[in-house]
Amino acid sequence: GKPTLIAVSLIFARGLLYSYRRQLQHLAQSLKGETLVGQIRLEHLRAYLSGFTHLKTSSLANRVRVVKVFFKWLHEEETLLRN
């Protein structure tokens, strides 16, 4: 039969988490030694995102969203004092 809404949601969530993890791993690799979250500065994030000029606007917006969501979560978890 047809998949349930819950089943489809779980599949979507797994794919989304995989995508976020992959993008955050790419960010970590680009930081080259700036591995402590508190060491990451806006300049690092701008440099990382500037490497995606070849992407469509929507794809670049997705990368920005992943970074924003990650740092917002770190702030909410009190891992970072400022977002």
Which tokens is 64 given? 């920005």
The sign one gets for the Cα dihedral 72, 75, 80, 83 is: positive
- Cα 8 to Cα 4, 5, 13, 75: the distances in Å are 6, 5, 9, 30
10 pLDDT tier (thresholds 50, 70, 90): confident
What is the distance between the alpha carbons of residues 57 and 45, in angstroms, rounded to a whole number? 17
Which tokens is 34 given? 């700036």
Phi/psi at 27 (nearest 5 deg)?
Answer: -60, -45
What is the distance between the alpha carbons of residues 41 and 61, in angstroms, rounded to a whole number? 19
Write the pLDDT tens digit of every residue in 21-65: 999 999 999 988 766 788 888 999 999 999 998 999 999 999 999
